[in-house]
């Protein structure tokens, strides 16, 4: 979960730009079909200059996100990047220390990982990103 970019605003769908294309390739590699995945964002509109949302912007959208979670009833939520991680699990969490580790909150398993846009900026993160998504796939098979 993260803020949308220009492609997402234009098409009205999350993760359809370059980061979404990378995520789709990772899903395909692992054997996950995108239609099997529900994708949501912390904020529902893109902040100016695609910056990370301010706390008040995230707070304004969190009830909407909570309602999405209630309706979808996920057993696993993948937190893509620090914005999602800190808004869902808490500001004390850091993505570098938390990625690849499972957390449980209210009977939902959470796995933080790199945001696909971070992977695009740093190819060294790709192995971790794929490995984390593989963990989600394997965990999902046991639910």
Mean pLDDT of 18-41: 91
- 8 Å CB contact between 9 and 43: no
Domain ranges of the chain: 6-141
Alpha carbons 58 and 36: distance in angstroms, whole number: 26
Q: What is the pLDDT of residue 56?
A: 94
Q: What is the pTM of this model?
A: 0.88
**Which band of pLDDT confidence, cut at 50, 70 and 90, is reported for residue 35?**
confident
For residue range 69-118, list pLDDT tens digits in order: 999 999 999 999 999 999 999 999 999 999 999 999 999 999 999 999 99
Average pLDDT, the chain: 90
| Nearest to 13, CA basis, from 34, 40, 53 | 40
d(CA 65, CA 68): 5
Instruction: Identify the band that residue 3 occupies on the pLDDT scale cut at 50, 70 and 90.
Output: very low
Return the CATH class of domain 6-141.
alpha beta
Q: Has residue 15 got a pLDDT over 80?
A: no
Q: Give the model's confidence band at 11: pLDDT under 50 very low, under 70 low, under 90 confident, else very high.
A: low
């Amino acid at each position: 979960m993260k803020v949308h970019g220009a492609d997402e605003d234009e098409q009205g769908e999350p993760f359809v730009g370059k980061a979404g294309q990378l995520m789709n390739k990772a899903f395909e590699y692992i054997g996950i079909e995108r239609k099997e995945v529900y994708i949501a964002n912390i904020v529902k509109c893109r902040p100016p200059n695609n910056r990370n949302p301010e706390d008040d912007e995230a707070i304004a959208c969190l009830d909407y996100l909570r309602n999405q979670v209630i309706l979808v009833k996920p057993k696993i939520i993948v937190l893509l990047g620090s914005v999602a991680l800190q808004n869902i699990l808490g500001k004390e969490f850091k993505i570098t220390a938390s990625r690849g580790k499972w957390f449980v909150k209210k009977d939902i398993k959470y796995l933080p990982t790199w945001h696909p846009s971070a992977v695009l900026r740093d190819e060294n993160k790709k192995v971790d990103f794929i490995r984390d998504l593989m963990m989600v796939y394997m965990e999902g098979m046991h639910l």
